[in-house]
Structure 1
Amino acid sequence: MRGAHGNLGKHVVVNHLVTNPPQNRLLSLRSELARLGVDGFIVPRGDEYLGEYVPPSGERLAWLTGFTGSAGLAIVLADRAAVFTDGRYVTQLAQQADPALWEHCHITEQPPAAWLKEHAAGRRIGYDPWLHPQAALARLAASGVTLVPLASNPIDAVWADRPGAPAAAAEPWPEELAGRSAAEKREAIAKDLRDAGEDAVVLADAHSVAWLLNMRGGDLGHTPIALAFALLRNDASTTVFMDPAKAGPALREALGNAVSIEPRAALPAALAALRGRKVRVDPELTPAWFATTLQEAGAEVSKGTDPVRMPRACKTGAEQDGARAAHRRDARAMIRFLHWFAVEAPKGGLTELAVGERLLAFRQAEDRFRAESFPAITGAGEHGAIIHYRATEATDRAVRPDESFLIDSGAQYLDGTTDITRTLWTGPGMPPAELRTRYTLVLRGMVALATTRFPEGVAGPHLDAIARRPLWEAGLDYDHGTGHGIGAFLSVHEGPAAFSRNAANIPLQEGMILSDEPGFYLPGAYGIRIENLLLVRPDPRVPGPKRWLGFETLTLVPFERALIDTAALTPAEHGWIDAYHARILAEIGPGLDGAAADWLRAACAPL
């Protein structure tokens, strides 16, 4: 499962800009669309597994537009084209997609359906039915266009050097880390199907397949999954659709006789065999191809949620223990890194890429490390204001003395997934008052959410504003959600719960792990984000008949003392930060020695 340099698998977006300029790629696609008899084509970011992260063979949006953000969509017409993304990536989009070729659109302020209605109403717009869920197509169809499913993807026809599909081995994930056997999980989901009067469910989310079968893999660079579909029947028998060569003897033995592995080419026949049966399909998470194929086969399609998604989000006791252990190891690596940074940054001579490489080296020294959970975001000064900035050889710049530095990073350990952001001050001088004021507002918002207790039934959108309130009181805000779910040695971004005004109204439940990461960004100057991970736990402090919940903070890394304006903290905030730092010193300090231990004692001293 562990590849070179600790990566789960190679995941490189190849730069084709030199050998095949953007205008040539767009012209080639338009010629192919004309040949197919359609007036346009929709290019989503995701591949057929509809995940946030895709292998190089699925990077169609990046190949066509140059935009490499993890959220986006493009629409190509004969006479114009547009790329859409959210607030995290608007600056990156402006830098990567040629404005002479592409209109740049904020996906919430100018949704794709509205753009289609304005520029393509009445036209025939093609789409790949493997790359869009039914729900997304329904939203696009409301624009007044005629959506035309295409038998093959026209980008694949013009992408001459498209990489091959990933073929990493799939492996069993130990039951002692999962907390439940795969057989128990399959039976529990099968019972849900029986109770709903359904015969089977299509699992198109590879993360659901991984969780259900206690299976992990190396098909993606930072997410330990084997890309696969599955068909689970109400007798708990399951067919996995992936290259059988990926499954070695250890996995086959772990899965048992009730789980078969078939190549993806066997999918049409398997769905055809469900004629007359009632099959659940999640319209938000399943490629439209599945529902169409089932209906054509004479099966009854039952629209419903992926039955694995919620159990996967509510971590077992073993998964919670694994998360705690992973965060303790990650804290040691981060603290060693922060000590190193505190010594080296004031001298100058560092670069953004070098800082990220140094942090990776500290993590690689920790037991059970497998890979980064995403490529580290290392933004110096004004680069920190680019919410999902990614340093490259072209953008890498020196880390200068007396400036802010934002580092957002995480790791995949065999027993847990981490994600942490800290905003640092390089020194040796004192930071400006404005930066300290705004950092403290962000910190106060992070603490406010971490210390919130709430009655059962409250959802992420209900709590998002708590983290924003200190900023709102100062007339400030940030253009991204406050937090996302985290997997258990799975994706660093996991649904269905999130802290965001745009998130689904999914009540928080015991065992969920979510990030708490408010921020503030001043374009061209600096960015501030502070992120801890929170575990949802029962809160016994509130008496009464209703069940109350709260959060356990998993992340154990001190904040940047130089940026905290202690005079702006309330007594409760001051007390929480001091208690948090004392906990870090008590839990992580004994695992450190020498100069790093000395640094931690100073970093965790009472404010």
Structure 2
Amino acid sequence: MATEDESSASISNNNQQQLNNNLIISPIISKNNSQQQLIKEVVVLQKNNLLQTFRDLFKNNEILDQPIDAYILPRTDAHNNEYISERDQRVKFISGFSGSSAWVIVTKESALLWTDGRYYIQAKSELFDEWTLMKLDGPDCIMPSDWIIQNLENGSKIGFDPKLFNFEKAKYFIKKLKNFGIICIPIIKNFVDILWIDRPKELIQKLFLLPIEECGEEINSKLIKVREEMKKQKCDFLLINCLDDIAWLFNLRGSDIPYTPIFYSYAIIMEINKIWLSKSINYEIGSLFDKKYYLAESPISKMRTIKNLIELNGMRNSNIRDSSALIKFLYWINNEISLGHLVDENRAARQINYYREQLDKFISISFETISAVDENAALPHYHVNENNNKIIKNESIYLFDSGGQYFDGTTDVTRTICFSKYPSKHFCETFTLVLRSHIDCACARFPSETSPVLLDGIARLPLWSNGYNFSHGVGHGVGHFLNVHEIPPYIGYRERNFGLKKGNVVTIEPGYYEENNFGIRIENCYEIVEAKNLKSGYKNFLEFEVLTFVPIQKNLIVRELLEQKHIDWLNNYHNKCFSIVGRYLQEKGMQV
């Protein structure tokens, strides 16, 4: 495995000079924030008085020009990241909820948290007393803005942190509430930060350049393409706060956020009358400009998601190595359980990580490993800890979702296995339907630029036909040694203005979750390629080419629920697992 020093030493002087000439990048410097002594009396906050202390800030004239009636807080950071540092876990601090998707509203009488279906069960167990759980999806849900309109009086004022609100969405939100007489007040000092007296310090880690042998394109070449897009829109400046865009553009990687090789920064690309604002820009920055700006998806995001040949080759190779680690894990855990050895969720997760750590070019895991047995697997984003760590027994259903960050790519894989010799009919039927959903999506052929919503429907149909569903998307993009959740692209039921393109790398991961019983998910990474052997002869059709090669447990399959095309796909897939990973292991001197 190459160290950071080794990788930096291999960078050409030409690449280094390009960086010096073109890079305008501003790491956020941690400030010695004394909380301005706004609440000197706060020393220790207990759960039972945290909300009241929070509400007391509504009328604090040291931080407010006028009192407010409510405060709204999204679970994100100033860069709209999904994975955030501990110091940005404000929603967790105020409510107890640790999931990655949430909105919080605190009024003088109520405290509410919205999250999506992936986290309902988790939120029920984590939320502090006095909090009410609200749904972000489903037919009976009420969105946060609508709840505000229905529950706050005309003339009410609601505070928000402008750093944490997407500029475009904030403008819509402010206008919508204003139409009902509710005023939004941007407050620079975040209320949670004021109360969080032991808030973790900001960590600014070293950056390193990704060698051209791994990234495949020089910085100058990328900047030329970006400036061409700027000229089309007659923009002189492009302002970027999306961290994976910045990392990709300048061939830089860092480690400011766990599991993701990005770093805190902003960037400005200059062209020698109008400023281009990336749609991910937050409200605090966006509101600095007058009307002479162009608000749109950053051109860098679209470029980044279409991998070049070297990036794609790295994604293929890293997934093969990664698959070998998971195959070793499957052998290990089946052997341990059959011998009656004690294996719990925590030990299994450590073993998965251990096998990855032995691989060439390994940097870190790409997210906290999900290791979930039986009813814990019904939580799509379950995380094991000392309090919930369950033993994996010889009749257990076990789901593991994990991935790796490698110098040449990023991976994301989920498998569900069962150790019982006689698994229930119901479990096997639902397992087979999830597998069928996966295969139907993986076999799809579609025109370039197809809306991913159409593929979401294809994947869900086998489950829908039997009265089942799942609350998360069918798939997401995967970055090249960047974010494991790279959006765009996104295969899901929420419409996104992004069609699938050749060179995208995505996951397919349908699932089924039964509260207090079990969870099932089958996930592979796929490269989107030109469709082969089309009878029509039409061009610009695409299909999925599998990158993950980890066997699927065959004795859980109900044959009658599959058509011959599903059987053929599965047999072909397992042949690839044996030949491709087997060849890799033989090259490493291992017996297959």
Tell me if 1:454 matches 2:446: yes
- Equivalent residues in 2 for 1:38-187 (5 A)? 38-98=68-128, 100-108=129-137, 109-122=141-154, 123-141=156-174, 142-143=176-177, 144=180, 145-187=182-224
Out of 519, 531, 537, which is 1:539 matched to?
531
Out of 237, 242, 265, which is 1:205 matched to?
242
In 1, Cα distance between the equivalents of 2:171 and 2:236?
Answer: 26
For 1:43, give the aligned amino acid: L
- Equivalent residues in 2 for 1:247-266 (5 A)? none
% identity of equivalent residues: 30
Deviations 1:517-563 (A, max 9, x none): 00111111100000011111011322434421111100011001221
Tell me if 1:510 matches 2:502: yes
Cα shift at 1:430 = 2.1
Whether the 8 Å CA contact 2:321–2:584 is kept in 1: the answer is no
* Residue in structure 2 matched with residue 30 of structure 1 by the alignment: 55
Cα shift at 1:2 = 7.2
- Equivalent residues in 2 for 1:180-579 (5 A)? 180-235=217-272, 277-283=273-279, 285-295=280-290, 300-346=292-338, 347=340, 349-427=342-420, 429-542=421-534, 543-579=536-572
For 1:459, give the aligned amino acid: S
The SS at the match of 2:359 is coil
1:340–1:190: structure 2 CA closer, same or farther, 3 Å change rule?
Answer: same
In 2, Cα distance between the equivalents of 1:202 and 1:2?
Answer: 32
Cα shift at 1:597 = 7.7
Whether the 8 Å CA contact 1:30–1:78 is kept in 2: the answer is yes
Q: TM-score normalized by structure 2?
A: 0.88
Cα shift at 1:213 = 0.5
Whether the 8 Å CA contact 1:486–1:493 is kept in 2: the answer is yes
The SS at the match of 2:287 is helix
- Greater alpha carbon shift after TM alignment, 54-63 vs 27-36: 27-36
For 1:395, give the aligned amino acid: N
Cα shift at 1:119 = 1.7
In 2, Cα distance between the equivalents of 1:364 and 1:391?
Answer: 20
Cα shift at 1:26 = 1.8
Cα shift at 1:293 = 1.2
In 2, Cα distance between the equivalents of 1:353 and 1:2?
Answer: 28
The SS at the match of 2:249 is helix
Cα shift at 1:19 = 6.3
Residue ranges of structure 1 left out of the alignment (5+ in a row): 4-17, 236-276, 601-607
In 2, Cα distance between the equivalents of 1:439 and 1:302?
Answer: 48
Cα shift at 1:139 = 4.1
The SS at the match of 2:307 is coil
In 2, Cα distance between the equivalents of 1:19 and 1:101?
Answer: 19
1:501–1:308: structure 2 CA closer, same or farther, 3 Å change rule?
Answer: same
The SS at the match of 1:281 is strand
Whether the 8 Å CA contact 1:378–1:390 is kept in 2: the answer is yes
Whether the 8 Å CA contact 1:410–1:417 is kept in 2: the answer is yes
For 2:278, give the aligned amino acid: D
Cα shift at 1:367 = 0.8
Deviation beyond 4 Å, 4+ runs, structure 1:
none
In 2, Cα distance between the equivalents of 1:547 and 1:158?
Answer: 55
Cα shift at 1:281 = 1.1
In 2, Cα distance between the equivalents of 1:391 and 1:73?
Answer: 24
- Greater alpha carbon shift after TM alignment, 151-160 vs 443-452: 151-160
Whether the 8 Å CA contact 1:430–1:562 is kept in 2: the answer is no
Residue ranges of structure 2 left out of the alignment (5+ in a row): 5-42
1:19–1:399: structure 2 CA closer, same or farther, 3 Å change rule?
Answer: farther
Cα shift at 1:124 = 0.6
In 2, Cα distance between the equivalents of 1:507 and 1:140?
Answer: 27
In 1, Cα distance between the equivalents of 2:462 and 2:411?
Answer: 26
The SS at the match of 1:323 is helix
In 1, Cα distance between the equivalents of 2:450 and 2:569?
Answer: 24
Cα shift at 1:44 = 1.1
Whether the 8 Å CA contact 1:456–1:546 is kept in 2: the answer is no
The SS at the match of 2:100 is coil
In 2, Cα distance between the equivalents of 1:278 and 1:433?
Answer: 63
Tell me if 1:584 matches 2:577: yes
The SS at the match of 2:567 is helix
In 2, Cα distance between the equivalents of 1:358 and 1:546?
Answer: 46
In 2, Cα distance between the equivalents of 1:121 and 1:550?
Answer: 52
Whether the 8 Å CA contact 1:112–1:140 is kept in 2: the answer is no
Whether the 8 Å CA contact 1:511–1:536 is kept in 2: the answer is yes
For 1:25, give the aligned amino acid: L
Cα shift at 1:294 = 2.1
Whether the 8 Å CA contact 1:460–1:505 is kept in 2: the answer is no
The SS at the match of 2:299 is coil
In 2, Cα distance between the equivalents of 1:184 and 1:336?
Answer: 41
For 1:525, give the aligned amino acid: N
Cα shift at 1:33 = 2.3
Residue correspondences, number? 537
In 1, Cα distance between the equivalents of 2:383 and 2:285?
Answer: 35
* Residue in structure 1 matched with residue 8 of structure 2 by the alignment: none
In 1, Cα distance between the equivalents of 2:121 and 2:464?
Answer: 23
Cα shift at 1:330 = 0.2
